[in-house]
Amino acid sequence: MEGERRPLLEVRNIVKRFGGLVAVNRVSMEVYPGEVVGLLGDNGAGKSTLIKVISGVYRPDEGQIFFEGREVRITSPMDAIRLGIETIYQDLALAENLNVYSNIFLGREKLKKLFNLIPVLDHEYMMQESKKVLDRLGIEIPSLRNKIKTLSGGQRQSVAISRSIYWNAKLLIMDEPTAALGVTEQRKVLNLVKTLSAQGVAIIIISHQLYDVFQVAHRLVVLRRGEKVGERLTHETNPDEIVSLIVGAELVEGGQRG
Amino acid sequence: MSRTQVIARVGRNWVILFLFLLCVIFSFTGRGFLSLKTLNNILLTSSPALLLAAGETFVIITGGIDLSVGFVRGLISVISAIVIRDLYALGYSPYFAIFCGIVVGVLLGFLPGLVNGILVARFRVPPFIATLGMYGIANGLALRYSKGFPITFLPDEVGEIGNGFFFYLLPGRLFTVFEKPLGLTEAEARNLVGIVPYATVIAFALLFVFGFVLSKTQFGQHIYAIGGNIDAARRAGIPVEKHLIRVYVISSLFAAFSGVLSTLIFSIGTHTQFAASLELFAIAAVVIGGASLMGGKGNILGTALGVFVLSVLEVGFLMSGILPFYRYIAVGAILVFAVVIDQLFPEIVYD
Amino acid sequence: MERVMGGQKEWLYRLGRAWVAFFLLGEIVVFSIIGTGFFSARNFQNILVAATTILLLAAGETFVIITGGIDLSVGFVMGLACVVSAKIMVMLQAASVSQGLSILLGCASALLFGLLPGLVNGALVAKLRVPPFIATFGMYGVAYGLSEILCNNVPISGLPPLVGFIGNGYLLYYLPGKALTFFSPPQGIGRADIRAMIPLFPNVFVFSIIAVAIFGFILARTQFGQHIYAIGGNIDAARRAGIPVEKHLIRVYMISSFFAAMGGVMYTLRFVTGRADAGAARMLDSVVAVVIGGASLYGGTGSMVGSIIGTLIIAMLETGMVNLGLPTYNKYVYVGIILVLAVLVDQFFPEFVRKGE
């Protein structure tokens, strides 16, 4: 799938330090349109720091970021969103007291003029548009007038994802999307990831659940102690190899030799 | 509609039922409760409270609280009364004096809210503290300007405006618009019924405008979002700080409206220490009307119903010959009851 | 990534954390210099007596605020206890019970009765999950209504004369070079001697400070106290750690209303009357004292010493301004400003991080 196509996102030699600690050390990776990349690593391996650099929360100390072939400087989350990089954090950033379509349009509400004068919320439009995007992604939610607090964890996840897609996310970064979900819901979210990928959205997925990542990712990038220690195409590797990369080869090899 | 939906809807709207029930009970226990005069009385006396509670609604929806409104109201009432009194004493026409009093009062009403809002939004001072600080400051200033006494000697026109009605009805004989009919006998004057007090109309108009802002506009929607999840609102690019400042300004502006209106209704500028419980009753009305102190819920209509529950209770107790102190007990109980009901009944879910 | 303070700035942070103590000191110095007769044993004792109401309410409020709650009912629970104690004393006296016993029973039953509002508040907050603001505001109304009904809207009078003797008396009376007596002035002294006599340790203050000290100890040194901080810091973590959160919360609200009741009883002793509005104006003062003393309304921080200092700052301001002949309404303005400043200072001086033991 990579072939001669141009990567959507490319990071080169990213370094991020906190005081004396090097959280990310000269990491490079790229993501192609429609590709799902699994970002793996133990706690403290630097995954979160890396995605926070990409999504504009942190500024890198060294290195370059290219998006759609052009070098970009991402200095704030708003910069990232403007480029089309959306991050779905574990807390989902939804207003639970508002309904589904209001959350999809949160902060970017569609307005209409009442008596050609007073701008008011255009509920009908927001509802229809939201319906369209949910249908396109095959997401089922009984009614878009339901408040988020009445939805299940998986449904909430879907709403958060739909919001990014509606606002033209080209690259979606998902932090532990299945962590807090039941089995059925996990499957639904993974199916959604596949649907998105088929529609050309690139996805970086961080997860501790190797099984999930193997199901949806095309390529896996493994970090350990801030460095990139491996990169494999999913169909050319297996969970054992990835685990040994994650925890450090010498440990597992030691065990095997014994 | 499914059964759970019906239950949820009834639970969400219990306050309407409750208000209705109160009226039914009081019409049996209270002599002459069910009359136009009582209705006017309830409407008139609840007007300042309506305004106070309407402003508080905005703040509570953001998850904040404004403890300063009671004393800001007192401060503005005192200041507007002083302006009216002094200008009138200087020989200006009473209407000009009243106009200036209203304008000065409303303009000054921006200030406390601006300070509260900046403290909350920019300096991250908890709303309870920021507005409690303003509570002290407004109290002190009001006492200073009033020297602890009501401001009196206002022109008679003040009361005429504050207590005026759109229509006057002398049952079976007369019906006038705006003007009280002249040349009535004492008995006739007692039977004269005013319909639709000005003060209520002013209060309702303001409530309608801000109710519209809250429920229909982007600003209103953002306020709910801030109360629901302030981080999500921030990440969605909503100008949270700016909105919060606006919300506290709205709250103290409404307190100012309320202060000006009470000056007009009672023809005196009052600031009493007892104003301290006004903001608590306003908060009670907002919560009875369905808002949560955690933020994210509430609306102006609910708040208005909450205020009416409190004033129907007050008037009804009075007319039923129940000691006024029982009202405090009743309010306390209803308040707790409101929150418990809110937790017991499920959220409305659409299919 | 722990924040490490530069050694140079350590003193600055310590100063920032302890600024209230310095503020109090500053207040004393300023009033002593510009006021007349401010710096005297008699005046300081007056301040302590005047401070007892806020002190007691604030002591109870400290517990509640540390759990992340608030108790708005303390002012009127105080009024209720004040009315109840006065009423019982009057009734017992009418039934020709001895003065001492009437007073003792009046005080004791008011204190016991004072546990009830706290029980209800605590049960509402802990069991029914009613927000503390609402639950205690409900009690605010109920307590006020009840006490006005109990006293028919008229302050209760006709209490045993001994009440005022206790409430305005001192533990020690010292006549320099001549006599030292407990509880009552030396017998048979002249007018000049009365003027020279120094009464020490006002009774109401002594009663109050003993209760405050006991509960200060409980808060700072016992497991219960530790658990209260844990609940305020992270209630879920506390629950998961097996701390009986509900039970503790109920206890905390009972402590708060016990202190409020004690405030009411002290009021009865001092002013020899039972008033429903005895503590009405003091509820928010007590919250202010606790917050100035370093507690956060978000819970988890605060201490009894801090609350005492906060109380003294307010009481000192009140008495100092009266002493200077300034109108008292300015006090409200200053207290408001100090309150906001307290929170701002707290935010600008982050938690002190030790670099190692």
Q: Mark yes or no for CB contact A142/B227 under 8 Å.
A: no
Dump strand ranges (E) for A6-110.
9-18, 21-31, 36-40, 62-67, 70-72, 85-88
Give Cα A23 to chain centroid, integer Å. 20
In a domain, B349, yes or no: no
Percentage of residues of chain A with pLDDT beyond 90: 38
* C contact chains, 3+ CB pairs < 8 A: A, B
How distant is the Cα of C1 from the closest Cα of chain A, in angstroms? 8
Q: Which of C131, C297, C337 sits opposite B133 (nearest CB)?
A: C337
Per the CB < 8 A criterion, the answer to whether B344 and B294 are in contact is no
Alpha helix (H) ranges present in chain C? 10-17, 19-34, 41-66, 74-94, 99-113, 115-126, 132-150, 162-167, 191-196, 203-221, 223-233, 235-240, 245-271, 282-292, 304-323, 329-348
* C206: its two tokens: 């002594």
Residue A146 is classified by DSSP as S
In a domain, A205, yes or no: yes
d(CA B112, CA B18): 35
Q: Is A39 helix (H, G, I), strand (E, B) or coil?
A: strand
Q: Is the dihedral of CA A92, A95, A96, A100 positive or negative?
A: negative
Instruction: Say what the pLDDT of residue C191 is.
Output: 77
- In DSSP notation, C200-248 reads EEEHHHHHHHHHHHHHHHHHHHSHHHHHHHHHHH-HHHHHHTT--HHHH
Structural domain for B201, as ranges: 3-344
Locus of tokens 């339901």: A146
Instruction: Say what the pLDDT of residue B339 is.
Output: 87
Domain count for chain A: 1
How distant is the Cα of A153 from the closest Cα of chain C, in angstroms? 20
Q: Starting at the edge strand that comes first in sequence, how are the strands of the sheet with B165-170 ordered?
A: B174-177, B165-170, B193-197
Instruction: Say what the pLDDT of residue C190 is.
Output: 77
> Would you tell me which residues 214-243 of chain B have a C-beta closer than 8 angstroms to some C-beta of chain A?
216-218, 220-222, 224-225, 227-229, 231-233, 235-238
In Å, how far are B263, B270, C158 from B153, measured between CA atoms? Answer: 12, 13, 41
d(CA B300, CA B287): 11
Please report, for the domain that includes residue A249, its CATH number: 3.40.50.300
> How far does chain C reach from its first CA to its final CA, in angstroms?
18
Query: Containing H/E element for B286?
Result: helix B276-288
Instruction: Say what the pLDDT of residue C16 is.
Output: 67
Instruction: Say what the pLDDT of residue A258 is.
Output: 33
In a domain, B50, yes or no: yes
d(CA C51, CA C74): 16
* B162: its two tokens: 């504050």
In a domain, B350, yes or no: no
- On chain B, the residues whose CB falls within 8 A of the CB of A121 are 216-218, 220-221
Residues A144-202 pLDDT 10s? 999 998 888 888 988 998 998 898 899 999 988 888 788 888 888 899 999 999 999 99
Instruction: Say what the pLDDT of residue B268 is.
Output: 80
* A136: its two tokens: 């396109």
Q: Which of A92, A111, A145 sits opposite B218 (nearest CB)?
A: A111
- On chain C, the residues whose CB falls within 8 A of the CB of A21 are 1
In a domain, A198, yes or no: yes
Under-70 pLDDT residues of chain C: 1-17, 350-357
Q: Is the dihedral of CA A106, A108, A110, A113 positive or negative?
A: positive
Q: Which of C130, C148, C333 sits opposite B340 (nearest CB)?
A: C130
In Å, how far are A155, A219, B43, B44, C155 from B39, measured between CA atoms? Answer: 49, 73, 6, 8, 35
Domain count for chain B: 1
Locus of tokens 């010493």: C305
- In DSSP notation, B190-223 reads HH-EEEEEHHHHHHHHHHHHHHHHHHHSHHHHHH
Locus of tokens 């409750």: B18
Under-50 pLDDT residues of chain B: 275
In a domain, A206, yes or no: yes
Q: Mark yes or no for CB contact B227/A97 under 8 Å.
A: yes
d(CA B117, CA B133): 12
Per the CB < 8 A criterion, the answer to whether C144 and C170 are in contact is no
CB contact B102 to C (< 8 Å): no
Nearest to C58 by CA among C276, C212, C247, C241: C212
* B75: its two tokens: 């401060």
How distant is the Cα of C4 from the closest Cα of chain A, in angstroms? 11
Q: Mark yes or no for CB contact B349/A150 under 8 Å.
A: yes
**Which chain A residue lies closest to C2 (C-alpha atoms)?**
A19
Nearest to C60 by CA among C81, C86, C89: C81
Query: Containing H/E element for C170?
Result: strand C170-175
Per the CB < 8 A criterion, the answer to whether B82 and B221 are in contact is no
* Residues ≥6 apart with Cβ < 8 Å to B220: A121, B213, B214
Instruction: Say what the pLDDT of residue B195 is.
Output: 77
- On chain C, the residues whose CB falls within 8 A of the CB of A22 are none
Backbone angles phi, psi at A15, to 5 degrees: -125, 130
Structural domain for A45, as ranges: 9-93+170-257
List the beta bridge partners of residue C202.
C170
Please report, for the domain that includes residue B262, its CATH number: 1.10.3470
d(CA C39, CA B18): 59
- Longest distance between any two alpha carbons in chain C, whole Å: 73
In a domain, B215, yes or no: yes
List the beta bridge partners of residue A62.
A15
Per the CB < 8 A criterion, the answer to whether C105 and B306 are in contact is no
Per the CB < 8 A criterion, the answer to whether B255 and B72 are in contact is yes
* Residues ≥6 apart with Cβ < 8 Å to B124: C347
d(CA A81, CA B288): 41
In a domain, A99, yes or no: no
How does the average pLDDT of chain A come out, rounded? 87
List the beta bridge partners of residue A112.
A120
CB contact A19 to C (< 8 Å): yes
Residues A4-32 pLDDT 10s? 578 999 999 999 998 888 899 999 999 99
Count of positions (residues) in chain C: 357
Nearest to A217 by CA among A228, A233, A231, A230: A233
A-C Cβ pairs (cutoff 8 Å, strict) = 3
Q: Domains in chain C, ordered, with CATH?
A: 14-348 (1.10.3470)
- On chain A, the residues whose CB falls within 8 A of the CB of B217 are 118-121
In a domain, A82, yes or no: yes
In a domain, A161, yes or no: no
CB contact C1 to A (< 8 Å): yes
